[in-house]
Amino acid sequence: MSLTTTLAWWGISTWIPLYVSSIAEESGGSATAWASGAGMIYNIGAIAGYIAFGFLADALGRKPATMLYFAASLVLTPVLFLWTHDLGLIVVVLVINGFFTLGQYTWMPVWLPEFYPTHLRATGAAFVFNAARFVAFLGPLLAGAIISALGGYGIAATVVGLIYILGLVVAPFCPETRGRSLDDY
């Protein structure tokens, strides 16, 4: 699940400013202004997603909240990169997309530490959080080749976005920890 979150962010979300700037340029807008604005708008959604995740995890459970974020990210990636070409609508989709695709990082500090007993909690969470980065670094290195080979941002982002399926497959096998005391270990 950490690989899903990290690879998707490095492999897809970092393309958002470039994608939006290309749409702006086609529409006669300022590519530079739209690229920087897209990053800020996306992060506004992300901040809301970070905050909401904790409340959703307490209300629904850690597993359902995480799966909701993965499923919404899977759907929202092609919505943003394939089906949204109007700059006004892109602003709305960016907020919603950021809420789920970047907001999903919150599952790690909320749920991940609860997988481990006290004597292993920091080590286990740190290893899982950071081990995925050893694979995800390939995203930015291969981005140009992927985008070129697949014919543009839309198809490339959608194909790489299939990584969210991995998160959806793995999450059901993780323990639901809502309501459990960390002393239960």
Residue 97's nearest CA partner among 157, 171, 22, 140 is 157
Range of the domain at 115: 2-174
Query: Is residue 180, in this structure, part of any structural domain at all?
Result: no
CATH code assigned at 57: 1.20.1250.20
Instruction: Find, among 86, 99, 106, the residue nearest to 42 by Cα.
Output: 99
166 falls within a domain: yes
In a domain, 61, yes or no: yes
pLDDT at 185: 61
**CA-based torsion, 149, 152, 155, 158: positive or negative:** positive
Query: Mean pLDDT, consecutive 10-residue segments, the chain of 185 residues?
Result: 91 89 94 95 97 97 98 97 94 97 94 92 92 84 86 91 96 93 71
**Backbone phi and psi for residue 161, each to the nearest 5 degrees, phi listed first:** -65, -15
> What is the predicted pLDDT for the residue at 22?
94
CA–CA distance from 184 to each of 10, 115, 116, 117, 165 (Å)? 36, 11, 11, 8, 31
Whether 185 is in a domain gets the answer no
User: Structurally, how many domains does the chain consist of?
Assistant: 1
What pLDDT sits at residue 180? 86
pTM for the structure as a whole: 0.93
In the prediction, which pLDDT does 57 show? 97
HSE-CB for 141 with a 13 A CA cutoff: 6
For residue 143, the model assigns a pLDDT of 80
What's the confidence (pLDDT) of residue 183?
73
